[in-house]
Structure 1
Amino acid sequence: MDSEVGKLRAVLLHRPGKELKRLTPRNNDQLLFDSIPWVGRAQREHDAFADVLRGRGVEVLLLAEVLRDALEDPRAHTAGVHAAVDDRRLGGDLGDSLRSYLSGVDAPTLAEVLMSGVTFEELPAAEGASLVRKMHHPHDFAVDPLPNLLFTRDSSAWIADRVAISSLTMPARRRETAVLDLVYAYHPRFRHAARAYGAHSAPIEGGDVMLLAPGVLAVGVGERTTAAGAESLARSAFADDIAHTVLAVPIAQTRATMHLDTVCTMVAHDAVVMYPLARDSLVAYTMRPDGDGSMRVDGPAPFLTAAAEAMGIDRLRVIDTGLDPVTAEREQWDDGNNTLAVEPGVVAGYERNVETNARLEDAGIEVLRIEGSELGSGRGGPRCMSCPIARDPA
């Protein structure tokens, strides 16, 4: 896969499940949600999103299903049990008890534990005393849920024919790495896929990785991806000969701009939809291989200029998310910039971003509108919710 806009052939999504029902006013901030979603509505919205993609000929893989399939492999099952149990949290005795229980459950049950977590009340009965168990509230989590699995773009990203497993920054999301590792290591479809990046490397998240053109990557550096992560990914991509230029793009470290794809996304080979306040402020440091394993770093330069030069085009067209600052800020918050290209000039976007969608259509971009009143409560749009696995060449 060499671009963001080649015709989408296969994508990995995660249908909201029990993990979202674990959110309460007491824990939603810690679990990175701005409100408590209505789960049934979120599921209906997600089903409609998946159907829109299927209607365009896209193969939709659901994370829960591929995880269950992967866990049928005994090696994956053992690794899954290890990923679920943290002795530093539970202590040795309680950890051993939970490990013993999970070792005997079937693949669907273990998959549910990995995704939805386990409260102390739900732990299997165990003989003997456990201070850890006694001192926790029954509804505290012995295994944390992963409500952000919904945003499959962040936990992995495909570059060329390789998959990059993200090194997730926020504590609430770190165990997602283990889930995706299991899928890509043991599911028959992905078992032989080469890795473009390791989960235990410097912090980098898929929402910050953008395939601007064949061989050209942009990597946001901000709240979730560090400069060390961007450099590590660049060196790995150069060594694997899957990129010749990587642009490191500093972004504001705020909730509203947590990833590069909350600021801009590709909508055509030569066009992006972009938050207008970032248009003139975004810069880029350009990294290129310099022979003998070394690397050259140039810049900073204006992002749009550096991107067009790296892509070999005269300019990168920009479609703003609003004519006035208030509308632009509102629609950026509601993921107006976070579109998913289904093919060149055709994108999926939240229907609520009326101004952005109108501006896209005025620029010749077809918008497939989807509902997102509940899906957006974790601050993520169609691009965040999708990990493209295969696209036609750009």
Structure 2
Amino acid sequence: MGDEQHSVTSEVGRLRTVLLHRPGAELKRLTPRNSDYLLFDAIPWVDRAQEEHDAFAELLRAHDVEVLYVTELLQDVLEYGAARDQAIAEVVADARWGERLRAIVREYLTGLDPEDLAHTLIAGLAHEELRAGHGLVYRLMDRLDFIIDPLPGLLFTRDNSAWIGDRVALTSLAMPARRRESALTKLLYAHHPRFAGVRPVYDPSLEHVEGGDVLLLSPGVLAVGTGERTTPAGVERLARQVFEAGLAHVVLAVPIAQERATMHLDTICTMVDVDTVVMYPPVADSLTAYPVTWRDGDLHVAEPRPFLQAAAEAMAVDRLKVIDTGLDPVTAEREQWDDGNNTLAIAPRLAIAYERNTETNHHLEKAGIEILPISGSELGSGRGGPRCMSCPILRDPPP
């Protein structure tokens, strides 16, 4: 272990290794009382969500993709004292607790074996589960509150880390309910033997950047959405980091108009071939990009241009082909909401998509893209599709 390859330079090169998180007990913590805070639109049927996710993973394996799981890697690293101490220290730093409760939680977590500790870090710790709890903070908490919040959003592994070339961007998640996800992912990359020697190119302590906003259009060309989750300051910082590391020569900063169905750039645009995107029609003509380059040791920001035009020029292709979501405005909006744009290419012209987006999938197939459909009736309750649920770690270079 430790000499495995890690490199991703495009969205469509043959996928070899991917990081997933199989949904578990953390989804069972969702209730009508907390689902908004934990960023889920509906309360999923967990057993069915697990069946759907298992089918997704099996489909990847059937196409020779190695599947790694967050929980298994986390259990591995918690065998190491330094990783275990770091994980506990980060959790007990919660300023809501006060000294008395902090000491009690630290003692509780220290007594758990690696499997139970991993479970608690992901599924959270409810007030009533901490039987040793006492003190003012504990007594004034609602009995239905969580002392350690669950992480149902961990299902979307793309958000908390994204590989750019042979470096990993450990992203900085904007929403408070999800910030511990980045800390857990950082723990994996820092301590697991499989990732020995990996150098991060971004850190969760920096300005907000989320992996769903980062598209690797082609080797050396990144598009980074900025809107609800990734801030302009985050795009600027990421651009500086990747330029200094020699990982890119153009970064396209792409402002995203915030609507209810929009969170990340990959909710409106993903790639299915080296020169083809599937895109939400209402933004295809209005989306703009600010080309950012590196000159004389500093960032140079050009005037905004239409996104498709700026992307094609940066990628050195005549034009980007566009496949629409749906056939009419109503269908397009519905299928965009259901992650019709959020496809995962596992090779050029071969992509995984939710089966329910029938019109979008029809358009893709008509354009010569082979679609591997998966069920997402429960997985989609957190508003994420196949791309959101997968963090590629190794892809072949694109043709």
Please give the range of the TM-score, normalised by the shorter of the 2 chains. over 0.9
Partner of 1:211: 216
Deviation at 1:86, TM superposition (A): 3.6
- For the residue of structure 2 that corresponds to 1:89, the secondary structure is coil
Aligned match for 1:220, one of 202, 214, 225:
225
From 236, 239, 254, the counterpart of 2:241: 236
CA distance in 1, matches of 2:344, 2:74: 24
2:302 match: secondary structure: strand
1:37-94 per-position Cα deviation (integer Å, ceiling 9, x unaligned): 0000000000000000000000000111011111111100001111222442111011
1:302 aligns with 2:309: no
Q: Which of 337, 342, 348 matches 2:341?
A: 337
Q: Deviations over 1:288-309 (max 9, x none)?
A: 0002x11110121000000000
Q: SS at 1:168's partner residue?
A: coil
Q: 1:80 aligns with which of 81, 87, 102?
A: 87
Q: CA deviation at 1:133?
A: 1.2
- Verify the 8 A CA contact 1:81 1:110 in the aligned structure 2: no
> For 1:89-238, what aligned pairs fall within 5 Å after superposition?
89-126=96-133, 129-238=134-243
Displacement after TM superposition at 1:254 (Å)? 2.9
Contact conserved, 1:156 with 1:166, CA < 8 A, in 2? yes
Q: Which ranges of 4 or more aligned residues in structure 1 deviate by more than 2 Å?
A: none
Count matched residues: 391
Shift of 1:191: 2.7
Q: Which residue of 2 aligns with 1:361?
A: 365
- Which of these residues, 275, 278, 286, is aligned with residue 273 of structure 1? 278
1:53 aligns with 2:60: yes
Query: Conserved in 2, the CA contact under 8 Å of 1:268 and 1:344?
Result: yes
Amino acid of the structure 1 residue aligned with 2:209: I
Q: Which residue identity does 2:102 align to in structure 1? A: G
Correspondence for 2:78: 71
Task: Tell me the CA shift for residue 156 of structure 1.
Answer: 0.3
Q: Pick closer, same or farther for the CA change 1:288–1:87 going to 2, 3 Å.
A: closer
Report the Cα distance in structure 2 between the residues aligned to 1:339 and 1:166, rounded to whole angstroms.
Answer: 21
TM-score normalised per structure 2: 0.97
Q: 248, 253, 259: which is aligned to 1:248?
A: 253
**What secondary structure is seen at the aligned counterpart in 2 of 1:37?**
coil
Q: Relative to structure 1, is the Cα distance of residues 270 and 116 closer, same or farther in structure 2, using a 3 angstrom cutoff?
A: same
C-alpha contact 1:185 1:191 (8 A) present in aligned 2? yes
Structure 2: how far apart are the matches of 1:254 and 1:25? 23
Quote the Cα distance in structure 2 between the aligned partners of 1:101 and 1:362: 57
CA apart distance, 1:124: 3.9
Q: What letter matches 2:90 in structure 1?
A: A
Q: Which runs of 5+ in 1 are unaligned?
A: none
Answer yes or no: is the 8 Å Cα contact 1:101–1:124 preserved in 2.
Answer: no
Q: Deviations over 1:263-301 (max 9, x none)?
A: 00000000000000010010000000002x111101210
Q: Deviations over 1:120-158 (max 9, x none)?
A: 1111415xx511111112221000000000000000000
State the secondary structure of the residue aligned to 1:31.
coil
The answer for the alignment partner of 1:391 in structure 2 is 395
Q: Distance in 2 between matches of 1:88 and 1:259?
A: 29
CA RMSD of aligned residues (A): 0.9
Q: Which moved more, 1:277-286 or 1:101-110?
A: 101-110
Aligned to 2:159, the other structure's residue is in SS state helix
Q: Is the 8 A contact 1:249 1:303 kept in 2?
A: yes
SS in 1 for 2:261: helix
Q: Which has the higher mean CA deviation after the structures are superposed, 372-381 or 245-254?
A: 245-254
Identity across the alignment (%): 63
Letter in 2 for 1:351: E
The separation in 2 between residues aligned to 1:137 and 1:216, in whole angstroms, is 49
* 2:13 matches 1:9: no
Which residue pairs with 1:24 in the alignment? 31
Give the Å deviation of 1:179. Answer: 0.6
1:80 and 1:110 in contact (8 A); partners too: no
Instruction: Please say if 1:321 is aligned against 2:325.
Output: yes
What TM-score results when the alignment is normalised by the length of structure 1? 0.98
Secondary structure in structure 2 of the residue aligned to 1:172: helix
What letter matches 2:356 in structure 1? R
- Letter paired with 1:209: V
